[in-house]
A = this chain, B = another copy of it.
Amino acid sequence: MSRRYDTISFLSDYGTRDEFAGVVRSVIRDIAPHAHVIDLTHEIAPFDVRAGALALARSIAYVPEGVVLAVVDPGVGSARRPIAIEVAGGAGIFVGPDNGLLAPAVAIAGGAERAVELSNADYRLEGASTTFDGRDIFGPAAAYLCNGVDLTELGPEVDPALLMPSAVPLPRHEDDHVIAEVLWVDRFGNCQLNVGPEDLPAAWGSTLSLELPDPVEIGARITRAARRATTFSAIGGGIGLVLDSTGMLAVCIDRQSASQELRIDVGDQVVLAQGSEPGETSITTPVILGR
């Protein structure tokens, strides 16, 4: 007997202006009325597999046991495989396209233990189209798994080692600086870097130097001081480097959007170096808050 799940955590790039996410929920409700669907977000930028993979990775530690349904799928209907991946001795199953979207979250959840290709037509919607696999393949698979259908009923097993990996950029550690990248800009304009506190030398003080893209001259770079802080309020004026809720460092401004004020966005390079000592903050370059 297979395990029955009762929660589906759902992430996609479907947006909410169309009925896509609602239709997938309808299909799930029809097949597995007892399943509770939690929308993580549907506002991943269209086709942005990496942004979806990162959002899922940030969420995964908090997601209840059960099924994770994730769809950011520019190759829908093409050769990329629809898959389901079991993790943690069956505590969770990921359902989605095999395009790297699931990989970071699967890794955080302990790695793929079993995987199948979702090719069994019995568990697809009848008369399936080729452009809406969330409705026709992924949503039904998630719902049938909640009903206790065994993973291996959904299609032939796939070697977990052959699943598509995800390329999350790593920071580079040079002599006296760390070359980082903006991974995520949240609604509040906080700019998460691909750097955790352990990536910075312990000797560095509470003031760092950030080399950023020049907001005025394209291609140029400027240097600004940033204060390490544990809360947004503790930044005071100026720029802060705050340990964010997922354990990474983020470039922040208190009660303002660092992304807007500094004109930095996902993919921009940020170089961190040791700054002047706390006692010398008088030479801190002030933030020029543009509008």
Query: A residues within 8 Å of B by Cβ?
Result: 6-7, 9, 11, 13-20, 22-23, 25-27, 29-30, 33, 36, 38-43, 46-47, 55, 58-59, 62-64, 74-78, 129-132, 135-136, 186-189, 230-234, 242-247, 254-255, 257
Contacts and interface: CB of A to CB of B under 8 A. Distances in A.
Given A77-B230, A242-B131, A255 B47 contact: yes
Kindly name the residue among A243, A245, A254 whose own CB sees the greatest number of chain B CB atoms within 10 A: A245
Contact of A129 (B43, B46, B245): B245
B26 A62 contact: yes
Contact of A29 (B11, B47, B64, B130): B64
Given A33-B36, A76-B232, A132-B244, 6 more contacts: A23-B62, A74-B255, A78-B232, A130-B243, A131-B243, A136-B245
9 contacts: A22-B40, A23-B58, A23-B62, A26-B62, A30-B64, A47-B188, A74-B233, A75-B233, A129-B246
Given A19-B55, A22-B41, A41-B18, A77 B7 contact: no
Copies of the polypeptide in the assembly:
3
A187 B21 CA distance: 12
Contacts of A19: 11, 40-41, 55, 58-59
Contacts of A62: 23, 26-27, 30, 135
Contacts of A132: 244-245
A30 B66 CA distance: 11
A244 B22 CA distance: 17
A29 B65 CA distance: 10
Contacts of A40: 19, 22-23, 26
Contacts of A245: 129, 131-132, 135-136
A265 to B, nearest CB: 14
A231 B77 contact: yes
Contact of A17 (B41, B78, B257): B41
Contacts of A9: 22, 26
A187 B11 contact: no
Contacts of A231: 76-78, 130-131
